[in-house]
Structure 1
Amino acid sequence: MKHSFLTKGKILLFLTLIFITGCDANATQQSSATSSSKKKEQIKQIEQIERKERKESLLAKAKVSAQQYDYQKAITLLKKSSILKDEDIQNAIGTYEKQKKNLVTWTDKSKIPHLFFHSLIVDPSKAFDGDDMTQGYQDYMVTINEFKNILNQLYEKGYVLVSIQDIAKLNKNGEMVYQTIKLPSNKKPLVLSQDDVSYYEYMKNDGFAKNLTLDTNGNVTNTYINRKGEVVQGAYDLVPIVDHFVDKHPDFSYKGAKGIIALTGYNGVLGYRTSESDYGPNSNKPNLNIKKDRLQAKKVADAMKQEGWKFASHTWGHLNAEKVSLNLFKEDTSKWKQEVEPIVGRTDIIIFAFGSDIGDWRQYSNNKYHYLKSQGFDYYANVDASKITWSQLGTHYFRQARINVDGLRMREALVGENEVLKHFFDVKLVFDSSRPKAKTLIH
């Protein structure tokens, strides 16, 4: 989150200095030596305050890095300081060097879980109103209250958000190799992602946020239209909720990692109708503000990346990668790169829609893989909720299975059909009472 401030002390000193300067110009009886002395003293005080503020800002930045287990970054930041000899700086360096030694290497990189969500329901009364969309929302979405409760339980269980690139990376020879993740002994890594963050047109008036946008301070937030029809801004979906949670609990993030946002393109991205194919001047439903929307969407995406979010392709048209032909797959990928990539930037992650995949459990070797690899995709994700973790370190790629956290999976947990979620949170304590038949399922 971005913050800006100017201390009252500094303002007061500047005003005093200006006042004295003005008085000196008019007080002809005051000696120039006295005036000069006072100005020097005021300047000295201002410099001392500025030095103190620089130190406090530096220590605050280093503290956040240390809280997020990046002790080396904190130490390096402090050692590069022009006030290195300061006692507080030296004490902080010593503390972080000791804490760094207490970190433990996460040994089994193949056993890191990945949870994913869809758009969060803000107003259950609108989502579960009995129309033809209700069942889909019950099955595939969670409410804001459910998500916030899940976050708290994940944190209490010691989970820490990591990026998929923290797990494995390509080396200089183009081979995918595991990376070193070091955490306290009571912490464990977790990957988080959210699918379809486009705020599709079909969700309008159904109790969801309208888009992701920036507030007056440049922070990522949501636009939401409440029951009164008022347009308001706030944390009405996963991204700003996680941002706020990490602000409050920096130790929930490993080196600033947040999550992966998987995007289609056919209905635009992040709540903006940016698709030239569907909203360009030659389409059936042209968006007269398409250039402005693209610009705004890019600003939001850039701000999200600064906050630790990654973007992934979810295919342009939300295709089933297993079933479509290679030619259609190529056309779709080309559209994604033409319409989505300019907004969110290049990505090396593809998260398959419908939980599909381009191969079975064996190492990738088919034409679809070779095509995607040629397009710069090194990370692949499917869906498998039959176990807590599954991943595969290929020679030139990394593949990870995700667990869907939604109404379907939670209902299965409540009736004992699938208990994978119990490793992450207590479904009974999370399940929203506003869901249809909630009381029956919980009891």
Structure 2
Amino acid sequence: MKSLRLAVSVGLAMALAACSAQTTPETPSSDSAAPEQSQQEQQRVSNVKAEINRLADGYDYDAAIKLAKKDGNDSLSSMVAGLEDEKEHTTAWDQPDKIPHLFFHSLIVDTDRAFDKESSSAGYEDYMVTQKEFSAILSSLYAKDYVLVNPHDFAGLNKQKKMEYRKIMLPKGKKPLVLSVDDVSYYEYMEGDGFASKLVLDKDGKVRNEYVDAAGKKHIGAYDVTTMVDDFINKHPDFTYRGARGLVAMTGYNGVFGYRTSESQYPNNKNLKEDQEKATAIAKSMKETGWVFASHSWGHIQTGTVSMGRLERDTKLWKKEVEPIVGATDQFIYPFGSDIAHTSEYSGPRYEYLKKQGFRYFYGVDGTTESWMQQRSDYQRQMRINVDGLQFAKEERGDRPVLGSFFDVEKVIDPARK
């Protein structure tokens, strides 16, 4: 499809160039403004063409066609036929209630430090994956034709304010997938254990990780889930549906993104305001890139079993200390997978309270089935598959072969884990 889109554009450009070459110019102009203006126009057209291709690569053909038609440049207008042909070859995903959801925790960068058999190492082995494993998983997902989608892509409120499934238009063979990452706070207990230490904005305003190696040297780059996904999509723009990345589940008790932004927990932090400003700028950039933030509760509490009083106090803290940084959200990801109703329909005081707080999308955990979703008139629900050391274990895989739909564990598993 893409070749037709480009071929039409290139063909017209070559024809225009040929016509230009056959035209005998009149008296040469001494005015240098015309060539300069021509170069500026060429650059402008090139930039618009790149944006059209980006939109089309992400399956947003309507936006791409609109942009191509809006511009009066012939080489851009010539792209419309190819774009419309590509759009014609898409169909609506025929199982909107069967979309898988994989979730991860922060990635292990240095396995020597993470797997050093000290107090936290068992937890890291059980609940984390390494950078090497995650890189291989992304490649496998892409090879299997999965495409990242965000919740609002597949479900939302209609004109009657009722939740309903939305059409996801994809080429034949492509399959939607939701990805999420929990606890992007870079907790204090993880310091020195071989993980990224925080998120930062580089000199170009791009979100990157800061990573401190075993020798104490700082590095800036892609060392965790969100930044690695961003880089992967830069190389493979057809891995995202209309710019989708995934969900980022945020707590607040230890701050966010590696910044100690909690006023209640760090009242003596002299850099509190600066940390909050930095974190807010990072969240803004991530949302513009396509990431969606979700509440993971402020204190990572067992939402399904704690008292209503505790749930209310915790939610107020999240609203006070996290929401001003990441923005309001209608997404709620249960810590520990502690769903308020297991798999039953939602009702009762806990649900009514969360609904009153603006939450409409809810996520539990089920690592035994490829997809589980439940939609009612006022909410959308999805279970997530944990991708971690527990699922990698052979005894678990015997009872839970679900990961095989996405990647071969034996091929992705890091030798450092064995």
> Normalising TM by the smaller chain, what interval?
over 0.9
TM-superposed deviation, 1:174: 1.6
Alpha-carbon distance in structure 1 between the residues aligned to 2:34 and 2:87: 38
Structure 1 match to 2:15: none
Structure 2 match to 1:343: 325
Alpha-carbon distance in structure 2 between the residues aligned to 1:103 and 1:147: 29
Structure 1 match to 2:301: 319
TM-superposed deviation, 1:417: 2.9
Gaps of 5+ in 1: 1-33, 281-285, 439-443
The TM-score with structure 1 as length reference comes to: 0.87
Do the aligned residues in 1 keep the contact of 2:391 with 2:397 (CA within 8 Å)? no
Do the aligned residues in 2 keep the contact of 1:274 with 1:294 (CA within 8 Å)? yes
> Equivalent residue of 1:49, what SS?
helix
Are 1:248 and 2:238 counterparts?
A: no
Choose 174-183 or 414-423, whichever is displaced more.
414-423
Count of aligned residue pairs for this structure pair: 392
Do the aligned residues in 2 keep the contact of 1:412 with 1:418 (CA within 8 Å)? no
Alpha-carbon distance in structure 1 between the residues aligned to 2:280 and 2:174: 35
Alpha-carbon distance in structure 1 between the residues aligned to 2:144 and 2:377: 33
2:196 partner amino acid? A
Do the aligned residues in 2 keep the contact of 1:193 with 1:259 (CA within 8 Å)? yes
1:77 partner amino acid? L
Choose 253-262 or 74-83, whichever is displaced more.
74-83
> Equivalent residue of 1:210, what SS?
strand
Gaps of 5+ in 2: 1-26
Structure 1 match to 2:145: 158
Structure 1 match to 2:57: 67
Instruction: Quote the RMSD (CA, aligned, Å).
Output: 1.3
Structure 2 match to 1:352: 334
Change (3 A) 1:89 1:278: same
2:378 pairs with 357, 374, 396, which one? Answer: 396
Are 1:111 and 2:101 counterparts?
A: no
Higher Cα radius of gyration: 1
2:68 pairs with 63, 78, 103, which one? Answer: 78
Alpha-carbon distance in structure 1 between the residues aligned to 2:191 and 2:389: 20
Structure 1 match to 2:393: 411
The TM-score with structure 2 as length reference comes to: 0.92
Structure 1 match to 2:16: none
Do the aligned residues in 2 keep the contact of 1:413 with 1:419 (CA within 8 Å)? no
Alpha-carbon distance in structure 1 between the residues aligned to 2:395 and 2:381: 26
1:75 partner amino acid? I
Structure 2 match to 1:374: 356
TM-superposed deviation, 1:165: 1.0
Structure 2 match to 1:198: 185
TM-superposed deviation, 1:172: 2.3
Alpha-carbon distance in structure 1 between the residues aligned to 2:395 and 2:325: 38
Are 1:294 and 2:281 counterparts?
A: no
1:179 pairs with 139, 147, 166, which one? Answer: 166
Structure 2 match to 1:21: none
Structure 2 match to 1:267: 254
Are 1:231 and 2:218 counterparts?
A: yes
String of CA shifts for 1:162-183, please: whole Å, max 9, x gaps.
0011110011222001101010
Alpha-carbon distance in structure 2 between the residues aligned to 1:74 and 1:91: 12
String of CA shifts for 1:317-368, please: whole Å, max 9, x gaps.
0000111011110110010000000000010000000011011322211111
Structure 2 match to 1:12: none
Do the aligned residues in 1 keep the contact of 2:334 with 2:362 (CA within 8 Å)? yes
Do the aligned residues in 2 keep the contact of 1:68 with 1:253 (CA within 8 Å)? yes
Are 1:309 and 2:291 counterparts?
A: yes
Alpha-carbon distance in structure 2 between the residues aligned to 1:147 and 1:292: 32
